[in-house]
Amino acid sequence: MIQIPWLRADDLTFPPTATALTEPDGLLAVGGELSSARLLSAYRRGIFPWFEHGQPVLWWTPNPRTVIFPDELHIARSLRKVLRRGEFTLSTDQAFEAVMRACAAPRDGASGTWIGPAMIEAYCELHRLGYAHSVEVWREDELVGGLYGLALGRVFFGESMFSGADNASKIAFAHLARQLAQWDFGVIDCQVASAHLFTLGAREIAREEFEQILVDYVDRPSLMGPWSLSATRDW
């Protein structure tokens, strides 16, 4: 029987990522807590927490890794038309907790959520420290879409997105990816594959390749929050 390492609260180190399980894909360790120091240490190595409310913290580093390179963003013709119409207003870092709570809301076909109270508290603290960021999509005064994640150096680690209106999350992502390209970000980490992400230009790469990208980009100067997006209409 394979034993998964249990992390001690007083030790921020993680096992070598090569020891992660292949089934379930990428499970590396269990336990510890969601302190800002531990989370930042984890993300620097491409490790992230993902667990259902009530479970111990589970730490993951899947192989392959799903990423989007900012200059490979794919915008479908139909989405370009929506972007050009400019029917939504965008903001950044103005409603971080509201975006997280919207991402945590029940979804069709899902039995539960992994964005529980502990996750919300932990990532809101990273937001207060300037590492975690949100993009909000508004229709008048209503929050209808958005995404959140955190940035280290020139790597953006995407966590979750939601849509309360057609294309709202894709609009948020398109604006973010274009801005990250202008800021010379090397990669957007999407963690695991989904059909939604592939429509935006995502692809899978080996864990080793992803970790080399982290070596190349995560120690570059960080752009601490709050962020703002450059206005653009040339879609």
Q: What's the CATH code of the domain at 15? A: 3.30.70.3550
Range of the domain at 79: 66-217
Is residue 233 one of the residues assigned to a domain?
Answer: no
pLDDT at 233: 64
Q: What is the mean pLDDT of residues 33-56?
A: 95
Domain assignment present for residue 227? The answer is no
User: Do 185 and 96 have their domain in common?
Assistant: yes
Residue 226 lies in a domain: no
**Domain co-membership, 26 together with 140:** no
* Whether 79 and 164 share a structural domain: yes
Can you give the CATH number for the domain in which 93 is found? 3.40.630.70
Is 235 part of a structural domain of the chain? no
pLDDT digits (tens, 9 = 90+) for 89-148: 999 999 999 999 999 998 765 445 689 999 999 999 999 999 999 999 999 999 999 999
Average pLDDT over residues 17-37: 97
3-state secondary structure the chain: CCCCCEECCCCCCCCCHHHCCECCECEEEEECCCCHHHHHHHHHCCCEECCCCCCCCEEECCCCEEEECHHHCCCCHHHHHHHHHCCCEEEECCCHHHHHHHHHCCCCCCCCCCCCHHHHHHHHHHHHHCCEEEEEEEECCEEEEEEEEEEECCEEEEEEEEECCCCHHHHHHHHHHHHHHHCCCCEEEEECCCHHHHCCCCEEECHHHHHHHHHHHCCCCCCCCCCCCCCCCCC
What's the chain's average pLDDT?
Answer: 94
Query: Does residue 223 belong to any structural domain of this protein?
Result: no
Domain assignment present for 231:
no
Domain limit, last residue, from 45, 62, 79: 62
Question: Which pLDDT score is estimated for 209?
Answer: 98
**Residue 203 sits in the same domain as residue 102:** yes
Per-residue pLDDT, 86: 85
Q: 101 and 183: one domain?
A: yes
Is a pLDDT exceeding 70 seen at residue 1? no
- What are the tens digits of pLDDT across the range 186-221? 999 999 999 989 999 999 999 999 999 999 999 999
Is 70 part of any domain?
yes
Residue 28 covered by a domain: yes
Task: Write down the pTM of the prediction.
Answer: 0.95
Q: Are residue 72 and residue 149 in the same domain, yes or no?
A: yes
Position 111 scores a pLDDT of 47
